[in-house]
Each structure stands twice: as C-alpha cells, then as structure tokens.
Structure 1
Amino acid sequence: MRMITLRLSAAICFVLGASVATAQTAPSAGQAKTPAGAAKAASAKSAKEEPLRNERLHLTYTVQPDGAYIEQRESAIKVLQEAALEYVKHESVSYSASIQTLDILEAYTRKADGRRIDVPKSNFQVETNDGREGGGPAFSDIATTSLVYPDLAVGDTVVLSYKLTGKKPMFEGHFSDITGFDADHYQGDMRIKIDAPAGMWTQKRSFGALKQVRDETVGDRQIVEWSFQNLDPVESKDKNRTIYDIEQSTGYAYSTFRTYGDIAKAYGERALPKAVPTPRVRKLADEIAAGKSSQRDVAQALYEWVSTNISYAGNCIGLGAVVPRDQEFVIDNRIGDCKDHATLLQALLAAKGIEATQALINAGNVYKLPSVPVASSVNHVLNYLPGLDLYIDATAKGIPFGELPISIAGKPVLRIDRPELAAKTPGFKVLGNRQRVSTQISVLEDGSMKGKVEVELAGVPAIVTRAGLKDLSAEDAKELVKKVFERGGLSAEGVFTQDDPKPLRNAHRYSATFDVKQALPVPGAFPLGPVFFNPMPVASLVGSGTEETRDEAESTCTGGRSEEIYRIEFPATMKVIAVPPNLSLESGGSRYVATYTLKGNVLEASRVIEDATVGPVCSSEYNQAYDAFTKKVLPNLKAQVVYQ
C-alpha cells in the first residue's frame, strides 16, 4: 500500500475566506513561524530545544454589515537559537491591493536587555503588481511589504503589528474564518477576537484546547474571543499525518454561512453568468467537436482542448479570487486559473448542448469538511456533467478524460447546480493502478549482461510516467538507457522506445534494450528486482519494513497491482546455487504470489502483488493489518539469487 502525501500548495487556485493577506509571521493564526520552519531541526520534545518561540499572537477581525472587515494582528517571536536568526529577521506581509490597504503600526526588535529598536524606514521594501501605463494588472494585484529587523541576536524578540482594511467583501454580506494552531510547539499568549454586527447571523465552534473566553453583545456589536496557550509542548505522535482535520486539533471556525450550499450559491451567482457561451465560444466549440457525434466524444474533445491549450495562472486580483475571468480574455491569452478553466469548459459544453455545472472542492489534505461551513474549506473548482455522471478537472494537466487527479478523488464536493446535495467525487478503482514489467537478461562470463525490459502501465503510474516523458527529445531518448545505468555506476548502451506520451490516456508502454558492462560480481549474489526505471515496482507496494509503528490516525492511501516477470540466462561456466523460495500469501483481499523456477542455468521468476486498498482514506486498523501482511512478504523480496 502506498501512502499519498497531499498538502496545500501554491497550485491551489481558488482563494476564499476571511483574509486574502498573508504574512510570514502568520498568514493565519495557526501558521505562525515554527521551529520546524526555522531549522528543519525538527519537532522538539520541550520548548527549551526549539530554535524560536511564538510568545504572542493577537488577532482581531472587525466585521462590517456588508462582510468587509478590518484585520489587526500583533505577533511577537523570540529567537532561542542561532539557527533561527536568518529566518526570523526577514518578514513580509502580502495583501490584495485592489480591495485592501495595509498599515504597519509597529515593527521593532526587543533586545534581551529590554531595549526597543524600531525598524527604520530604510529597512522596508514595498513591491506591487501593476499594469502598463496605468492599466490594471492582468494576473495579480498582490502587494508585498517586506522588512528586516535590526540588530537581532539570540535572546531577542521581534514584534510586528499591522492593520489590513478591507474595501469590499469577497461575498456580499458574508464573513467566515477557520484557523488551527500548531500544538506541537510552544505557543504563548494566543488570542482571537471577532467583532461583528449584532444583527448578523453567525455560527461558531472551537476545537481542542482553544478556550472561548468571551461571547457578549455590546451595543450593536457581538464580540467573541478565544485564547490558547501551549507552554509545555511535547513531540507529536502524528508527525507523518497525511490528513488534516481541524476538528481533531486546536482551532476554531466562525461563519455567517448557514450551510455549505450557501457557499456554493454565493460563488455561483457571479460565476454562472460568465459561463453563458458567447458567439466566439460557440464557433470554437463547433471547430473543436467537428466530426464528433456522441455526447461523450464531444465532451472529451472539448475537455482535452481546454486542458492542453489553456495554461495555468493564478487569478489573484481582488474579487477575481472568487469570480472567473471573461471567456474572451482566457481564449485570447490561453491562460487562466481553475475557475477560468471550469467556466470556459462549461461554456464550450453548453454551446454543444451538453449540460455541465461547476463544483467546489478542497484540493489539499482535507477529506472531511468542518461542521461549520467556512468558504476557505474549498479551494478548487472543477466541472460536473450530469448526463454522463462525470467529474472532470481541466486544470489538472495530463489527466485523461474521465479520470481525476489524486488530490480530489473521493472527497466531498459542492455542486453549483444542486448546492444542498451531499455529493462526493468518485474514489479510486480497486487495482486500477497497474504495472507489468517483463525482463529478459543474458548474463555473460565476466558479469556483463544483455537484455530487454518491457513495461506496461495503467492508471496513475501511466499518467505520471507520461507526464515525465512527455517532453523527452529524440536526442535525449538515445542517451536515456546509458544515463539510467550510469546512475548506478555502470557503463551501458541501449535503445529506449515508448508510446506517444502526449495524448491524454490512462495507459502507457515503453521498452528498453541494454548492454551493460560488468553489471554483476562473479561469483556473487543479488536480490531480484527491476533493472530499469519503473514507477510502481512490487517493492513499492510492500515498503521497507523499517517504518515506525503507525499512529492511530487515519491516513491517505491507495493500492494497485504490480507484476514482475524475469527470465535470466546464466552462462554455462556459472552455477546457480540458490534462488528465493516460492511464496503465496493473502490478507484482507490483498495477495502476493511469487514463483522461482531454475531450469539448468535459466531462472524464470514471477512476482505479483495485488494491493486491494481502495482509499483515499484508510483507518489505523486497516493500515496495521496491511503492514502485518507486507512484513511477511518482505523477506521474499530480499532473498538473493546466488551463483558461482
């Protein structure tokens, strides 16, 4: 079983939630600078071992009746080790210039002896994104104010206080925020305050050790406050957790949305009018779908055109974070973010009479939406075709029609056409990921070998391999075999061939012939395994057997089928004196079968593992059972072929 690590990244294209601003100190209350970030030095078992310490974070949102807000933030970070100095001394705050203004209220170094040294004006730098000759920016209006703290030494504390004033709300009449605190590291005085109109409907919930310390009406304002401290942190048992569930950690959620359906409606109100096909889009759709008749064939042609012709670019311009660009802009520039891809594709499909809608999803490591509906819980847009009951994501490049990228498979999704529907994208197919490697080798008397390897792939291994080989030039293909063996310190010549990797298919084949000088010691021994690169060898579905015992949390997971077939002919002057034993095991629907047959000086071997893991989420109990199964397989993989 292979574990999938999915994390939020810059590729996520749909920006929602309370704050557009980001800061290295704290893009959100739970993302303050951490010791792990300062010195990859790891999670410490006590605060004394940490390279820095978050002494204070005070965050206040003052919400207006229309949903616009003022964010005021004050942070204090103490440097405990020299390793953190370079990391802490640089700071930056980014925001959307078209809908926010930034005021730096205070920025200074507090020396260990109590002296205060303000950041001088010369230590600030402001970067903006503007268009040419007064024109607005096409892709991003993000402005960044950076600063350097003066005279910083171990034992000092840096303090930053700033205010962001919002000119417009992301969604009219709505405000929402969700924040988690890092419970693995020291957190001093952490406070959150939300000050909203008393007449504004809200719901809220806190999780873990976060304490609500205030909830009262003052005049026409409703004020709620939370606090948190973690003065004696201990090392987390869940260091390798691949699923994030804020309700299992420490944090809070606050929202004016009553349901997730309301979030879908709010997005759709401005997105769907952008998906009405223009005359130009209708003409383009006719050209793309020419010669196609069935609904599926037409939809596939339109999907592949958008996926391969529209490149990705973030749309971080004020309300553009949640409103798609016009179709003309996207077509003219052949560029857009996920909303633009989904909106243009919906328009093209509508032009051909194919019903389509858009859907919102979390493309990070969140597999369960929090109980309080917060807009930032979804960060990506794809399409849904009701007539084909099919989700498609044209933003995810290289994905065949009818398939989904791993990051959004088996997750809750908010459909714009049916906002209140509790829908989910399809998960993985059992044994849908497949690999078959056939290897034929002739060993020479000096340990050199000649042979051929053929690889057949399906599912994710095929998609990943196609992407990796898509831009391989003819010249590089000639040198590929040589370079592959050079990485192992061997001298080789050979020829590499493959299917055309450019078409969006979920299957791929490639092969290589090779002539490798003195590849094996004589006499000697070796564990049987692939001699040429491949994405999913049998060993990858077994693991090393050296991992620590898994924690009790759920994890991301998937499975597949991997088969390796070998025919190895040794010269008459060599004698094979040992081969691995045959083995057949089965557990929980997964199985491993290996046979090794020696006929004279020819070894024929076959190994198949079928990891029936479905995923994308596996329980701790399932993981432990699969680990027990693979530990029985591992000795067979390590067993050696011995010859003299």
Structure 2
Amino acid sequence: MQLATLRLCAAICLALAAAGATAPASAQAAAKPADASPAADAQDEAAPEQPLRTERRYIDYTVQPDGRYTEQREVAYKVLDPRAIEYAKRESISYSASIQELKVLEAYTLKSDGRRIAVPESNYQVETNDGREGGQPAFSDVATTSLVFPDVAVGDTVVLSYRLTGKQPLFDGHFSELDSFDAHSYQGDVRVRIDAPAAMAAQHRAWGAMKLVRDETRGDRRLLEWRYQNLKPVKNKRRDYSVRRVEQFPGFAYSSFASYGDIVRAYGQRALPKAVPTERVRKLADEIAAGKTDQRDIARALYEWVSTNIHYGGNCIGLGAVVPRDQEFVLDNRIGDCKDHATLLQALLAAKGVEATQALVNAGSVYELPDLPVVSSVNHVINYLPGMDLYLDATAKGIPFGYLPPSVAGKPVLRLDRPELKAQAPVFPGDRNRQRITTHLTVAADGSVKGKVAVDVSGIPAITMRALLREMTEEHSRDMVKNYFQGQGLVAQGRFRQDDPKPLIDRQNYDVEFEVAQMLPVPGAIPLASPFMNPMPVIGFVSDANDEVGTEVETACTGGRSEEVYRIEFPAEMKVIAVPSDLAVESGGLRYSARYQLKGNVLEANRVIEDATPGPTCTPEYNRAFRDFAKKVLPNLKAQVVYQ
C-alpha cells in the first residue's frame, strides 16, 4: 500500500499550512483528490438522482487527409434541483487559439414550457493569452469563451453547440481520439461520429455499453458512429481512482497509427532535431560539469541544473504540443514544458558525451496503455540514458537524480531510440520510504507540555517534505512552532531546526523544541501521537482499515517502514490509569509491533509498522488482505492513554 503518496502530501501541506507556510503549486496540485470519474463497476443499488442531468452529448469529428480536423460538440443539461442552477447557467469553452478557431453555433435556455431564450451577446466573455501589444504569447495561447445562460430555473435545459476548426494537424496525416463516459450517472443520449478519409488506414474499438452503430464508406469518406445511453444509472461506491483502465469506462478509441512505435517515430521526427546541442548549450554544459569526469557525476550535475533552473511553463502552444521549443528560447526565459525540459537536458548531456534520448509516458493514472495506440495515452516526456539504464524526469521538481516521481515510476515507456520496445520505467523503491520519529514530552499539572520531537525520514515523504520546506521563508521558519500550535488554538513557543532542504536528495532531518500552555485536558484521555509534523505516521498506513470502498479495484501503492518512539513524563500528582496493550501482528510482507511500558509516571512506547508492498499497483486481492491486516492494527493505534 498503502503508503498513499497523495495522502502523505496532503497531510504535510496541512501541517505546513498550520505552521504558516504556503505549499508550492506543484504540491498543492498533488494533494488534490484523484480523478472522480466513476468506473463501470457492477453495482445493484440505484444511483441517487443528480441535480443536473445530461440529456444529450453529441461529438462529431471531420478529419482531413493531412490530419487537420473539425470538432463539433453539442451538450444539453437539464436542471432538476435548485442547487444546480448556478452551475448550469455558466459554461466555458477552452481551446488553443493558434491552431483552432471557435464558432458558437447555438446557445440557449430551453424553458420547461418549450420557449427558447438565446444567450445574448452581452452574456459572452472571451479571455485570451497574448504577448505584449498583440504579440504572440510565449507559452500559453489558451483562449476561453464563457457564456451565462439567461433565466435558468428548475425544469429548464441549457443547450450549447459549438465548432472548433483546426488550422494544422498535430501529426501530419494522422488522427487519433480516445474518450470515455460516466457509467454511474444519467446519460440520455451520447453520440460520437468520425468522418475521415477512406484512404486513411485506421483502427477503432469500443468497450462497455458504448456500441458501434455505423461503419460505412461513401465515396472517399468513411463514416463511423458510436452510441451510449444510461437511463437507469446504478450507485458507484468506488473512491480510489489512482489506477485507471480505459476498459472500465464506457468509451471508444480511434487511431490512424498502426502501433505506439509509429507515435514515437512521429514525435521523434520533429523533436530530436531540437536536441542537437548549440554552441551556447555546449558552453553551458562545460560550466555546469566543470571539474567532473565520471559520466554519472556529469549527468547528475546537468539534471539538477535543468530541474532547479528551468521552471515549468505551458500549455504548449501551436505545434509546441508535439514540438519542443528551441534551446535558446528555453534558456533565455528559463521556462519550458516537459518536452522542453527533456530536449534541453538531452542536448546538455550530448554536449558532454553522455548518450541520452527521450521517452513518452502517461503521467496520469494509466499504468497499462490501451491496446489501440492513441496519442493522448502518452502525455508526458522524460529522458532515458542507455549507458546507465537510467530514467530522468527534470520536469518533476525536487526528485533526486536516479529516481522518478510516483506519477511516472513503474509505468510503460516508449523510448525514441527503440520505438517498438515494450519498456517499463523502474518502480520507486518502497524500502526507501522510512521514518523514525522520537517524541519526548513532559506534562505539567495544568496540562501544559514541554516537548522535543526529532524526525529522520527518507524516500517519497522526505522528497515531498523537502519540496515544501524549500518554499519556507526565514520568517516562517522562525515562527514555525508558534504558528503550528496556534492553528490548533494553542499558545506555544519554541524553535525549529532542519537540514538544508535545497539539495535534491531523498532524506530529511528536522527537530523541534516547544512549550505549549494547557495543551492536554486534565483529567483526560489522549491517543498516542506525535504533537508536531509527522510526514509518515504509523497510523497513516492503516487509517482506511474500516473503509470497505476500494478493495474491489486495483490501486496505486508502495511500501515503507515507520517507527515511533515515545517518552511521556506525567507529573507526580497525576495518575495514569490505562495505556494501550502490547501487540504484534504479521501477515505476508506486513508487520506491526507495539510495546507500551509504564514505569511509575513515565510512559515509554515503541511502535513499528513494516510494509513490503512492492508496487506500483496492488490487486483487489492484495488490498483485501491488507485491509484485514489493518483492521487488527488500527484499534491498537486508536487506544488512548487515560490519566487523572
């Protein structure tokens, strides 16, 4: 497991927020919940009626021989509950202004009595990203047209129809598309049509309740149509979408590519020429790697420079969607998207004689590429060093050299040097996820506490913690203790010390001393938990033990080890009347042990959990076994120390 990276990051973000620090945007994004699109799990219970219902969704693609295409969409949503009115009356269309033109065909409110009220021109708002005085934007050309539908009430339907016309193809002579639809909400009528040249060799597939209803050739055009309805949706109990298989969702795929290797070659044809080092890049590589002779040391220095000096920027505009920017542009602006990072790093490595290439990968929740090769299935670019058999992702800030971020680790990769090779990125080693936290507390008669906490953490939690601590200002660090406890309604003072978080390594040490006024209730009962930031608490491994949701689906997972050591000294006038019981549980690669010893008024405790889950994904069977183990452990972790 069960060491959920997103949960850990969210916990750390909350801890730092309480301390007065602001998490970087990358960490905030990571802490967001996973994709909530329901999967087509078999359920018997009917889904509750939604406040807003999809009456129809029509999607039409008209493809030209050179790969340019027109996309036309029509959606109609019916309002069934007052809560949905504000949501239903606003709709936005975003598109790439440099390669697409938007035309709104129809937009109106269909009243329950049959009247149509068109969206007036005054209810449109267009936002664009432009350069200065109308110049071309540097990275993002996303334009957004927003509409406000008039006079929307319960029983009405809002209807929007628009067309996006492509000015140029993504890949010459090719078109691919994959889409899926909600299996647990009402879908009145979903229709997808593709009108493509009959001479364009293509393959297609549908799954779930999505059905092909038309496949015919008229002259030089081939017409395909799929339909889907879900008039009696069933309740969805799934919550974990860390692993997503497209076949679990009603949908379809269409592709003119014969294989993923063809996608790789098409990308490489435009991208690889951009990776030839310029004179400026050669000079920069010499400066960065000065004094280094070992190729691994050189590669590390170049990777760390790109990771820390080139900021992430995008979307990719125009052909930038598949073509990296020129090296000069990226260096001048110190910004780039994933392709720009990978291309610049490849050029720097080449300048120092280190063999490198690029690889395409899915950075979302897809751990197994669909059989049908679709461009959108590989949405991220990283580097591969054949001589070291090493993958690098300079876009993922804060990741140490030699590791990949969890969003990429363990996934299929498509290498540009061997397009047909079925390769896989290495899994982040779960045994690196380790923590030891020691907590010493001295309790006063009024519940005030003097304490010391020391943390030694490595692996993913340390990488996440270091990324957050890097953003901490000197003022935040100075007021860390006061702000942290103030967020809990407590008055405290103390000092916080940490290792320098700037180097890209996967280990972090920090410690804190504090005095907190009236921290504990007297008399009272408290669970045994460290009172300061705990990146990888033992209870975090098993906190979902009683959640029945998620044991029937595959999930993303990894392992780790966490140890907590406590020494709590109560005052002589207090009497400790209950402490948790010792426990030892072992099952497969899972082990938990806890020892509690009361010596007079001093409680000493030691708790260790070891999780040998290999990752990157866990089967439903494994998740059920882990839940059974967790159910035996969780009560011990929730047991309280009682005193009076």
Fold agreement, TM-score > 0.5: yes
Structure 2 equivalent of residue 2 of structure 1:
3
Structure 2 equivalent of residue 95 of structure 1:
95
Structure 2 equivalent of residue 556 of structure 1:
556
Amino acid at match of 1:119: V
Pairs within 5 Å for 1:605-616: 605-616=605-616
Distance across 1 between alignment mates of 2:270 and 2:325: 11
- 2:379 aligned with 1:374: no
Aligned pairs, number: 615
Structure 1 equivalent of residue 383 of structure 2:
383
Structure 2 equivalent of residue 156 of structure 1:
156
Shift of residue 134, structure 1, vs aligned partner? 4.7
Structure 1 equivalent of residue 31 of structure 2:
none
Contact 2:403 2:428 in 1 (8 A): no
Structure 2 equivalent of residue 138 of structure 1:
138
Structure 2 equivalent of residue 296 of structure 1:
296
Structure 2 equivalent of residue 505 of structure 1:
505
- 1:224 is paired with a residue of what secondary structure? strand
Distance across 2 between alignment mates of 1:544 and 1:248: 24
Q: Are residues 187 and 526 of structure 1, via their aligned partners in 2, closer, same or farther at CA, if it must alter by over 3 Å?
A: same
- 1:206 is paired with a residue of what secondary structure? strand
Structure 2 equivalent of residue 446 of structure 1:
446
- Say which structure, 1 or 2, has more relative contact order (CA 8 Å, 6+ apart): 2
Comparing 596-605 and 553-562, the one that deviates more? 596-605
Output one character per residue of 1:131-175: Cα deviation in whole Å (capped at 9) or x when no partner: 234532211222222222222221111222222221211000100
Output one character per residue of 1:2-30: Cα deviation in whole Å (capped at 9) or x when no partner: 34569xxx989xxxxxxxxxxxxxxxxxx
Gaps of 5+ in 2: 8-24, 28-34
Comparing 360-369 and 539-548, the one that deviates more? 539-548
Pairs within 5 Å for 1:430-509: 430-509=430-509
Distance across 2 between alignment mates of 1:11 and 1:157: 38
Structure 1 equivalent of residue 318 of structure 2:
318
Q: Are residues 268 and 303 of structure 1, via their aligned partners in 2, closer, same or farther at CA, if it must alter by over 3 Å?
A: same
Distance across 1 between alignment mates of 2:641 and 2:132: 68
Contact 1:4 1:242 in 2 (8 A): no
Comparing 600-609 and 532-541, the one that deviates more? 600-609
- 2:76 aligned with 1:73: no
Contact 1:2 1:540 in 2 (8 A): yes
Distance across 1 between alignment mates of 2:493 and 2:435: 25
- 2:407 aligned with 1:407: yes
Structure 1 equivalent of residue 245 of structure 2:
245
Distance across 2 between alignment mates of 1:543 and 1:551: 14
Contact 2:204 2:253 in 1 (8 A): yes
Structure 1 equivalent of residue 631 of structure 2:
631
Given the two structures, how large is their TM-score scaled by the length of structure 1?
0.92
Q: Are residues 486 and 141 of structure 1, via their aligned partners in 2, closer, same or farther at CA, if it must alter by over 3 Å?
A: closer
Distance across 2 between alignment mates of 1:254 and 1:380: 20
Shift of residue 46, structure 1, vs aligned partner? 5.6
Q: Are residues 472 and 430 of structure 1, via their aligned partners in 2, closer, same or farther at CA, if it must alter by over 3 Å?
A: closer
- 2:214 aligned with 1:214: yes
Output one character per residue of 1:91-130: Cα deviation in whole Å (capped at 9) or x when no partner: 2222222222222222222111111122222222233333
Output one character per residue of 1:158-196: Cα deviation in whole Å (capped at 9) or x when no partner: 222222221211000100000001111111121111111
Contact 2:48 2:235 in 1 (8 A): no
Shift of residue 496, structure 1, vs aligned partner? 0.6
Pairs within 5 Å for 1:265-344: 265-344=265-344
Comparing 52-61 and 166-175, the one that deviates more? 52-61
Q: Are residues 204 and 488 of structure 1, via their aligned partners in 2, closer, same or farther at CA, if it must alter by over 3 Å?
A: same
Structure 2 equivalent of residue 224 of structure 1:
224
Structure 1 equivalent of residue 255 of structure 2:
255
Output one character per residue of 1:342-370: Cα deviation in whole Å (capped at 9) or x when no partner: 11011000000001111111111111111
- 2:559 aligned with 1:587: no
Contact 2:551 2:624 in 1 (8 A): no
Pairs within 5 Å for 1:122-201: 122-201=122-201
- 2:264 aligned with 1:264: yes
Distance across 2 between alignment mates of 1:559 and 1:422: 26
Comparing 447-456 and 220-229, the one that deviates more? 447-456
Contact 2:179 2:252 in 1 (8 A): yes
- 2:212 is paired with a residue of what secondary structure? strand
Contact 1:412 1:422 in 2 (8 A): yes
Amino acid at match of 1:89: K
- The Cα RMSD (Å) is 2.2
Comparing 191-200 and 126-135, the one that deviates more? 126-135
Distance across 1 between alignment mates of 2:120 and 2:524: 69
Contact 1:44 1:50 in 2 (8 A): no
- 1:227 is paired with a residue of what secondary structure? strand
Distance across 1 between alignment mates of 2:548 and 2:315: 42
Contact 1:56 1:190 in 2 (8 A): yes
Comparing 218-227 and 68-77, the one that deviates more? 68-77
Q: Are residues 5 and 208 of structure 1, via their aligned partners in 2, closer, same or farther at CA, if it must alter by over 3 Å?
A: farther
Gaps of 5+ in 1: 13-30, 36-42
Q: Are residues 4 and 245 of structure 1, via their aligned partners in 2, closer, same or farther at CA, if it must alter by over 3 Å?
A: farther
Amino acid at match of 2:171: F
Distance across 1 between alignment mates of 2:37 and 2:349: 47
Structure 1 equivalent of residue 52 of structure 2:
52
Q: Are residues 88 and 45 of structure 1, via their aligned partners in 2, closer, same or farther at CA, if it must alter by over 3 Å?
A: farther
Shift of residue 572, structure 1, vs aligned partner? 3.3
Distance across 1 between alignment mates of 2:360 and 2:474: 41
Shift of residue 48, structure 1, vs aligned partner? 7.3
Shift of residue 589, structure 1, vs aligned partner? 1.0
Shift of residue 472, structure 1, vs aligned partner? 2.1
Distance across 2 between alignment mates of 1:241 and 1:384: 28
- 1:242 is paired with a residue of what secondary structure? coil
Q: Are residues 613 and 225 of structure 1, via their aligned partners in 2, closer, same or farther at CA, if it must alter by over 3 Å?
A: same
Distance across 1 between alignment mates of 2:26 and 2:228: 31
Q: Are residues 304 and 114 of structure 1, via their aligned partners in 2, closer, same or farther at CA, if it must alter by over 3 Å?
A: same
Shift of residue 202, structure 1, vs aligned partner? 0.5
Distance across 2 between alignment mates of 1:255 and 1:11: 33
Distance across 2 between alignment mates of 1:270 and 1:358: 12
Shift of residue 580, structure 1, vs aligned partner? 1.9
Contact 1:245 1:366 in 2 (8 A): yes
Distance across 1 between alignment mates of 2:98 and 2:502: 40
The percentage of counterpart residues that share the same residue type is 66
Q: Are residues 422 and 544 of structure 1, via their aligned partners in 2, closer, same or farther at CA, if it must alter by over 3 Å?
A: closer
- 1:296 is paired with a residue of what secondary structure? helix
- 2:87 is paired with a residue of what secondary structure? helix
Comparing 477-486 and 307-316, the one that deviates more? 477-486
